[in-house]
């Protein structure tokens, strides 16, 4: 669900406004929610999926990923060529604002654990 974390605080303020008894306020709120979602590359369907998703352990944030990547690339770890290339490719993805897939994150975590991080 693209970019919803970034706009969650704004959505938390907007959603209660849908309970207004004034139709104009409700319509304006819907438009504001749509603009907010559009700015994050998401839509109402993405919001509905996020609200319906089961809540488990909190997922790692992009900042956590970036810190782990930086630690692996900047540290004196005995990474294989494949591991170094993999972590470098993740670094480029994160720098572009992309999120890691669960599989990429699991592989990164495995490499970090092997390195004692």
CA of residue 70 relative to chain centroid, distance:
18
- Predicted TM-score (pTM) of the model is 0.48
Contact 4, 42 (CB under 8 A): yes
Same domain membership, residue 40 and residue 14: yes
Query: In this structure, are 43 and 78 located in the same domain?
Result: no
Within-domain flag for 77 = yes
| Confidence bin at 2 (pLDDT 50/70/90) | low
Tell me: do 67 and 110 sit in the same domain. yes
Q: Look up residue 38 and give its two tokens.
A: 């559009």
Q: How far is CA 100 from the centre of its chain?
A: 8
pLDDT of residue 64: 79
Q: What is the pLDDT of residues 50-97, one digit of tens each?
A: 888 766 544 455 667 888 999 999 988 899 999 999 999 999 998 888
Amino acid 97: pLDDT:
84
Quick check: 79 and 111 in contact, CB under 8 A?
A: yes
Is there a single domain that holds both residue 20 and residue 48?
A: yes
Q: What is the pLDDT of residue 76?
A: 87
How does pLDDT run across 24-45, given as a tens digit for each residue?
999 999 999 999 999 988 889 8
CA distances to 17, 19, 42, 90, 91 from 100, rounded to whole Å, are: 33, 36, 17, 8, 10
User: Could you give the number of structural domains in the chain?
Assistant: 2
């Amino acid at each position: 669900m693209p970019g919803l974390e970034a706009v969650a605080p704004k959505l938390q303020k907007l959603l209660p406004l849908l309970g207004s008894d004034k139709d104009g306020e409700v319509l304006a709120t819907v438009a504001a929610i749509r603009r907010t979602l559009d700015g994050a590359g998401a839509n109402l369907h993405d919001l509905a999926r996020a609200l319906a998703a089961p809540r488990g352990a909190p997922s790692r944030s992009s900042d956590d990923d970036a810190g782990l990547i930086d630690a692996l690339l900047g540290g004196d770890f005995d990474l294989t060529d494949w591991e170094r290339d993999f972590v470098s490719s993740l670094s480029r993805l994160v720098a572009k604002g992309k999120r890691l897939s669960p599989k990429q994150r699991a592989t990164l975590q495995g490499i970090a654990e092997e390195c004692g991080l």
